[in-house]
Amino acid sequence: MASLSAPEAEVAPEIIAEVIARVYGEAVTELPEDLYIPPDALAVVLEAFEGPLDLLLYLIRKQNLDILDIPISRITDQYLAYIDLMQVLHIDLAAEYLLMAALLAEIKSRMLLPKPVQTGDEEDDPRAELVRRLQEYERFKKAAEDLDTLPQEGRDIFPALADAPLKIVVSEELMIGDLPGLLDAMRDILRRAELRQSHVIGSEGLTLEQRLREVLERLQDDSLVMFHELFFLQEGRMGVVVTFMAILELLKQKMITLVQESVFAQIYVRRMDPQSAEAAWA
């Protein structure tokens, strides 16, 4: 068996010259050049490899070798030294790494055997299958890197979403379909207004037209205002009724719209179209 051939000399000082592993019976006293890595880091390094093909590719690429022409003996030795070291360090190796070690050793030994006289040119180089697999793996390794450069949702790309419109939108629909709901809301407000009735201020000539303007003013920006917020309970029953009539009138004229997320939810009021409403009241 060939001894470790690749890394001559250049032993890092911290590497102690003692038998650190046995590769096929040969004592290994020096770490191969590629292995000048603090042993603690080895676990990390191994994790960096996606498998035996990846490790093998690394060994080949690191030495600027062509996959098509792997010096199998050298690479095999390096690979085995690597694997052996892992075992010495009690790093759990996936079975695939050992399988590859066996395959490499087999290829190496086949290449060392004298070639039988060939009958045809069909006989494969023992490396052919391995080379094919390495090439194939390398393609996808590259493809995976390419994939990672694409803009990725959540990393580079953020979808822009808007909330759904409030679910039930009604102007005339609510007038007809959900009038009971509206009246219910009204009844609540009236009842509360009555509770305040005690200090009613004498009605000071509240006109419907004036109230229409006021309601629209309240709705100036695009915001939603809660239905009951449009009422001033201090105004008592009369004021509340006038406001209610103003709201009905504005609904009829489609100046405002009522919005309700679900049936028993709050009713909101909003201006339909600020521009045209502005124009109408200017």
Partner 1 sequence: MGLDRKLVRGIVEGAIFASPVPMSVEGLQQLFVDGEKPSRQEVLRAIGELQTAYAERAVELIEVGSGFRFQVRALYAPWVGKLWEEKPQRLSRALLETLAIIAYRQPVTRAEIESIRGVVVSTQIIRTLLDREWIAVAGHREVPGRPALLATTRQFLDAFSLKNLAELPPLAALRDIDSITRDLEQHLAAAKQKELPIEGPVSNE
* Least distance in angstroms from the C-beta of 94 to partner 1: 6
CB atoms inside a 10 Å sphere around CB 182: 20
Nearest to partner 1 of 54, 249 (CB atom): 54
Helix axes 72-88, 95-112, angle to 10 degrees: 150
* Least distance in angstroms from the C-beta of 90 to partner 1: 20
The owner of tokens 């052996």 is 84
Nearest to partner 1 of 109, 210 (CB atom): 109
* Least distance in angstroms from the C-beta of 27 to partner 1: 26
Nearest to partner 1 of 31, 256 (CB atom): 256
Nearest to partner 1 of 215, 242 (CB atom): 215
Residues 200, 206, 211, 213, Cα dihedral to 10°: -130
The owner of tokens 């190496």 is 108
* Least distance in angstroms from the C-beta of 12 to partner 1: 26
Separation of alpha carbons 258 and 14, rounded Å:
80
Q: Single out the residue of 146, 134, 142 nearest to residue 66, CA to CA.
A: 134
* Least distance in angstroms from the C-beta of 201 to partner 1: 33
Nearest to partner 1 of 127, 211 (CB atom): 127
CB atoms inside a 10 Å sphere around CB 69: 10
Residues 6+ apart with CB under 8 A from 151: 157
Separation of alpha carbons 6 and 171, rounded Å:
85
Burial class of residue 258 in the structure, from the number of CB atoms within 10 Å of its CB (0-12 exposed, 13-18 middle, 19+ buried): buried
* Least distance in angstroms from the C-beta of 194 to partner 1: 25
Nearest to partner 1 of 22, 123 (CB atom): 123
